[in-house]
Amino acid sequence: MKIAINTRFLLTKKLEGFGWFTHEVAKRLTKNHPEHEFFFFFDRKYDDKFVYEKNVTPVVINPQARHPFLYYTWFEFGVKRALNKHDIDVFLSPDGYLSLGSGVKQIPVIHDLSFVHYPKDIPFWNRNYVNYFFPKFAKKASKILTVSEYSKQDLVKSFGLSEDKIQVAHNGIGEVFHPISEEQKVKTRSKFTEGNPYFLFVSALHPRKNVTNLFQAFDRFKTETKSEVKLLMVGEKYWWNKEIKQVFDEMKHQSDVVFTGHIQSSELNTLYGSGLALTYVSYFEGFGIPLVEAMKCELPILSSELTSLPEVGGDAAIYVNPFSIEDIKNGMKRIFKDDSLRQELMEHGKERAKQFSWDKTAKIVWNTIVEVYGNEQ
């Protein structure tokens, strides 16, 4: 079988969402199935480390697809030609985009439909593009993969799809994440927060991550507890807009908010392992990878009660209404003051983390490819 994978998000030192899914799944597919040929479609010069095995042929397709006009050109012309040229049997697209003009069997991974429910959180041209094309991609797909039961049901309701067309493959947990020693915890806190305990936020600072309410809740928490706790924000400020800036500028305790920018996974592991709790109060998620990473590092979780997050967090988190600043603040106070609660959440997280692995994810993806191709495994 000849399998093509859209690998345009395999970017050196810039692996995020789509990129991590692509990396973790593609390296397992190619290693576990050496009898099949894989073609990786890049939109720029690639790093050789992403050519995982000898059965991988890298293909660079121009132009770089980083704008809606170029998305169309890349998928409808470049990808279509490459699929035909290499006689591909199945095309897997981890970011959900497909080539509508190609007759090749295609499997998108549609992680969530945030653009349907919160279109204003996305730049104008992007939201118009995805809202126009993704229903078409869903219809075109031979089978759809998604990362949670919540997203599956959302696809069914929003796009009028049959449940049989959609397969859930939960995200896994990177091998780099694990508990750390007390000595490492002391060093990490000393490096990032002057030795003080901290709440941890991990993600790009996107509006739907609800950072405005998180900032305001933390401000109230600080005022009421008069504690030395910091708020450590790990992620790029790609989406730092006027509203977020205004809320941050008005904080009484903004000096207790620490921004790290992008952090490599090995150091991120120590940040998880040294924290007081993960504060992840996004109002829309298709999965929520920071939750499972926190579980693996034995970090308690304060999570939003909406969308996929309770499905992922289970009994390893306490849940709050992300639209209530007071509720978020009260959740912070509970975790801060209650040692037994933190310990209970850590123990639940250790067990729950065992349910998520990239090996499981890759196996489901492979079985879906085989099903679409039409052969028995």
The string of DSSP codes covering 242-261 is: HHHHHHHHT-TTGGGEEEEE
In terms of domains, do 11 and 108 share one?
yes
* 74 and 141 in a common domain: yes
Please indicate, yes or no, whether residues 192 and 158 belong to a single structural domain of this protein.
no
pLDDT of 204? 85
Burial of 258 (0-12, 13-18, 19+ CB in 10 A): middle
CATH code, 43: 3.40.50.2000
Instruction: Assess whether 25 and 131 both reside in one domain.
Output: yes
Distance from C-alpha of 372 to C-alpha of 377, rounded to nearest angstrom: 11
366 and 330 within one domain: no
Tens digit of pLDDT for each residue in 229-240?
999 999 888 778
Q: Is 148 helix (H, G, I), strand (E, B) or coil?
A: coil
Q: How many residues does the chain have?
A: 377
Whether residue 148 lies inside any domain: the answer is yes
Distance, CA of 15 to CA of 198 (rounded, Å): 25
Q: Chain-centre distance of CA 193, in angstroms?
A: 26
What percent of the chain stands above pLDDT 90?
A: 87
Answer whether residue 317 is part of any domain.
yes
DSSP-derived 3-state class of residue 5: strand
Domain match, 275 and 336 both: yes
Structure tokens at 79: 């990808």
The number of domains in the chain is 2
Q: Are residues 151 and 252 in the same domain?
A: no
298 or 207, higher pLDDT: 298
Cα 266 versus chain centre, distance: 17
64 DSSP assignment: P
pLDDT tens figures, 65-120: 888 889 999 999 999 999 999 999 999 999 999 999 999 999 999 999 999 999 98
Tokens of 105: 């069997």
Residue 364 lies in a domain: yes
Alpha helices of the chain — where are they, by DSSP H? 17-32, 68-73, 80-85, 114-117, 124-140, 149-159, 182-193, 211-225, 242-249, 265-274, 289-296, 309-313, 325-337, 339-352, 358-373
Q: Are residues 119 and 212 in the same domain?
A: no
Q: Are residues 366 and 347 in the same domain?
A: no
Q: Which of 269, 283, 288 is nearest to 171 (CA)?
A: 288
Cα(230)–Cα(256) distance, rounded to whole angstroms? 5
Is residue 38 over pLDDT 80? yes
The per-residue pLDDT for 232 is 98
The model's pLDDT over 117-169, given as tens digits with 9 standing for 90+, comes to 999 888 888 899 999 999 999 999 999 999 999 999 999 999 999 999 999 99
Non-local (6+) Cβ contacts of 240 within 8 A are 205
> Locate tokens 């800036």: which residue?
245
**Is there a single domain that holds both residue 48 and residue 82?**
yes
Helix (H) or strand (E) holding 360: helix 358-373
Co-location of 340 and 225 in the same domain: yes
Contact 101, 116 (CB under 8 A): no
SS3 25: helix
Rounded (10°) CA dihedral 255, 260, 265, 270: -30
Same domain, 59 and 208: no
The dihedrals phi and psi of 105, each to the nearest 5 degrees, come to -65, 135
53: in domain: yes
The amino acid sitting at 303 is S
Judge contact between 148 and 311, C-beta under 8 A: yes
Residue 177 maps to a domain: no
Give kind and range of the element (H or E) at residue 60: strand 56-60
pLDDT of the residue at 66? 81
Note whether residue 246 is domain-resident. Answer: yes
- Beta carbons within 10 angstroms of residue 249's beta carbon: 9
164: containing domain: 2-172+357-373
What does each C-alpha distance from 173 to 79, 265, 276, 356 come to in angstroms? Answer: 30, 11, 20, 6
